[in-house]
Structure 1
Amino acid sequence: MQTSSTTDAPDTGTTAEWMQDRALRAAVWTARRLPYERRVPVFGAFARRAAGRFTPFHRRMLENLDYVWPDMDLDRRREIAAQAGDNFGRALIEHYSMAELAERMSKVVPSGPGADALLQMRQDGRPIVLLTGHYGNYEAARLSLIASGLPLGGLYRPMANPYMNRHYVDSVEGLGSGPLFAQGRQGMARMLRHLKGGGAAMILNDLYVGSGEEMDFLGKPAMTGLSAAELALKLDAALIPFYGIRNPDGLSFRVEIEPEIPPSDARTMTEAFNRSLEARIEEDPGQWFWIHRRWKRKWNRGKGMAPGLHPAALPRRKSD
């Protein structure tokens, strides 16, 4: 297991960040006293209640939903926000129950129209960039692919809170389930070596990227990173969307592998991924993490602060 540069550096966060981390650790420790089958729904229910109250996360989810689906009635938006909160809570405690999740996912065979082709690429030693988003549980999908014999690393964006980031990364690295690459020069260099050696890397591509390009996502302009597609083109790697989709029982998953996005140019390929993820969100919107400020505008890119911006597009909210 390769260790990220984040875990090598000392924690230098604030007292408030340290306290946030300790609160999370206490909640995780308490939840882990329960059997896995109880632990996951309990954490989901806790997050669902938090998402259903007047919190910044609750407001942000409702604003995002109103922004992309303005004709949807408020009750339906609240229902989706509650479902998204439940899924977020489940995914969070599943992350801190990684060994048990890995055992479960080792029995899940990846399916979908791209599954057989992915296996062939692995046998041929072709580099593979697997694209996904904050939908269902991407770690569950990654663990399933690792169990199937794919050397799948993961690129991640370090959290702002260094204490929570250390805890989050350690929970994956302690399992020895594949290399992690922190965003940045050193992490990218390690990921390039991994891919050039015939490996595969998972990249989440559904967050705001100020250095990206503006393109349509769920009918609204969103700053979107092109680096995953650029990387695939540079290395002649396959660019493949995939998803870990939570089943109705709330505990199990299916792993869907879509066909390779045909190589063309980075923008066209990234737009193809946007359409893929949009289809998943529209099919089951409660599985996507609506808490992210996906459509925010900033002064240095896009239109910035302009009269009449929807709250979901504001460059910044003081309480965020």
Structure 2
Amino acid sequence: MAWNADRTSDAFLRVLIGLARRVPYKTRVRLFGWLTGWVVAPLAGYISKAVRNLQLIHPEMSSAEAKRIARRVSVNFGRSIIENYSKDDLSEVLKNSTVGGPGLAAFKDALAEGRGVLAVSGHIGNYETLRVAIHNMGYPVAALYRPAKNPYFNEHYKTTMESLTGPAFAQSRKGVVSFTRHVKNGGVAAMLFDVRATSYPDISFFGYPAPTSTFAAEMAMKTGALLLPIFTHRCEDGIHHDVHFETPIAHTNPREMTEEMTRRLEAQIRSFPDQWLWVHDRWGSEDLRARRANRSDTP
């Protein structure tokens, strides 16, 4: 059989996860975080990429501080990966974690009225914990996800998402239709909005233009769903999580609603800068650097 890089990397990951799951949960989470933060992320270039993005947005930040944050981001990401492959343990942890906030009552009221809820969040903390926390309350949660480039990894990635809380729909025409129908029929769905979406307009994110999808706001208005930001962050012990239901976002127009979602996420990142996935090329970093250089060269 010919060597296949995707198959090989997926097989390696499966073996790594299988071995990790043989040790107690807390040790497993800390071990996978260390392995990702100190071995995988440096080798894959994630630390240096996160440092570049941190200093792009915070030019006053020292390289040492940016590297410290980038390392903690990578550790958090590694912990999140193995948590999501440990559904039952994660579910138990969340039963003893803080789940609440001013939007929780509105969430329950909407569902009691038969109104769908669209939970929106960003790549902060272990963002999958919001779905597990809601599932613990007795509500299945649909997810909309971007398929992984590696088809072998994507197969069990989708299965894992569905095993956590409910159906997972790929970002395709068919998937979006099914996702929308789920919410319109009074269900709960969750999606992340903080990825670079070049077919959408720029919205200011930390003072710089970032192409941002307005799909969540458009869908909420179309279906009449409650648009509810929910953010999570990892506690100091590295194991427990806070899941915070914010006040719902009023239906005005898609751009205003998306701008408000973005402001809410910014506030979370300022509070927990080492838990947002700075590896994402959120701003089109090279283009933004070029624009900065051109401005500085102008007399």
Partner of 2:194: 206
- What is the Cα deviation at residue 288 of structure 1? 0.6
Partner of 2:290: 308
My pick for the range that moved more, 177-186 or 97-106, is 97-106
- What is the Cα deviation at residue 105 of structure 1? 2.2
**Do residues 60 (structure 1) and 49 (structure 2) align?**
yes
The letter of the residue matching 1:99 is D
- What is the Cα deviation at residue 244 of structure 1? 2.0
Give the conservation status (yes or no) of the 8 Å contact 1:243–1:255: yes
**Do residues 46 (structure 1) and 35 (structure 2) align?**
yes
User: Any residues of structure 2 matched to 1:1-320 within 5 Å, and which?
Assistant: 15-50=4-39, 53=42, 55-108=44-97, 110-175=99-164, 177-296=165-284, 308-309=290-291
Alpha-carbon deviations, 1:134-162, whole Å to 9, x = none? 10011111111111133321111111111
Count of paired positions: 291
Give the whole-Å Cα distance in 1 for the aligned partners of 2:184 and 2:42: 47
Give the whole-Å Cα distance in 2 for the aligned partners of 1:106 and 1:170: 23
In structure 2, the gaps of 5 or more residues are 294-299
Alpha-carbon deviations, 1:183-218, whole Å to 9, x = none? 111111211221121101101001101111111112
The structure-2 alpha-carbon separation of the partners of 1:174 and 1:150, relative to structure 1 and needing over 3 Å to count, comes to closer
Alpha-carbon deviations, 1:103-145, whole Å to 9, x = none? 3224446311111111111111111111001100111111111
CA RMSD of aligned residues (A): 2.0
Give the whole-Å Cα distance in 2 for the aligned partners of 1:31 and 1:267: 43
Give the whole-Å Cα distance in 1 for the aligned partners of 2:36 and 2:88: 22
Give the whole-Å Cα distance in 2 for the aligned partners of 1:39 and 1:120: 38
Give the whole-Å Cα distance in 2 for the aligned partners of 1:133 and 1:87: 14
3-state secondary structure, aligned to 1:216? strand
- What is the Cα deviation at residue 170 of structure 1? 1.5
Give the whole-Å Cα distance in 2 for the aligned partners of 1:68 and 1:238: 32
The letter of the residue matching 1:308 is A
Alpha-carbon deviations, 1:68-92, whole Å to 9, x = none? 1001111111111011011000001
Give the whole-Å Cα distance in 2 for the aligned partners of 1:119 and 1:74: 45
Give the whole-Å Cα distance in 1 for the aligned partners of 2:237 and 2:40: 20
3-state secondary structure, aligned to 1:256? strand
3-state secondary structure, aligned to 2:78? helix
Alpha-carbon deviations, 1:257-301, whole Å to 9, x = none? 00011111101100101000100001111111111111117xxxx
My pick for the range that moved more, 25-34 or 61-70, is 25-34
Give the conservation status (yes or no) of the 8 Å contact 1:154–1:180: yes
- What is the Cα deviation at residue 45 of structure 1? 0.8
The structure-2 alpha-carbon separation of the partners of 1:107 and 1:123, relative to structure 1 and needing over 3 Å to count, comes to farther
The structure-2 alpha-carbon separation of the partners of 1:307 and 1:157, relative to structure 1 and needing over 3 Å to count, comes to closer
The letter of the residue matching 1:188 is V
Alpha-carbon deviations, 1:49-70, whole Å to 9, x = none? 1377464211110110011100
Give the whole-Å Cα distance in 2 for the aligned partners of 1:274 and 1:135: 13
The letter of the residue matching 1:217 is F
Give the whole-Å Cα distance in 1 for the aligned partners of 2:272 and 2:40: 18
Partner of 1:314: none
Give the conservation status (yes or no) of the 8 Å contact 2:120–2:193: yes
3-state secondary structure, aligned to 1:137? coil
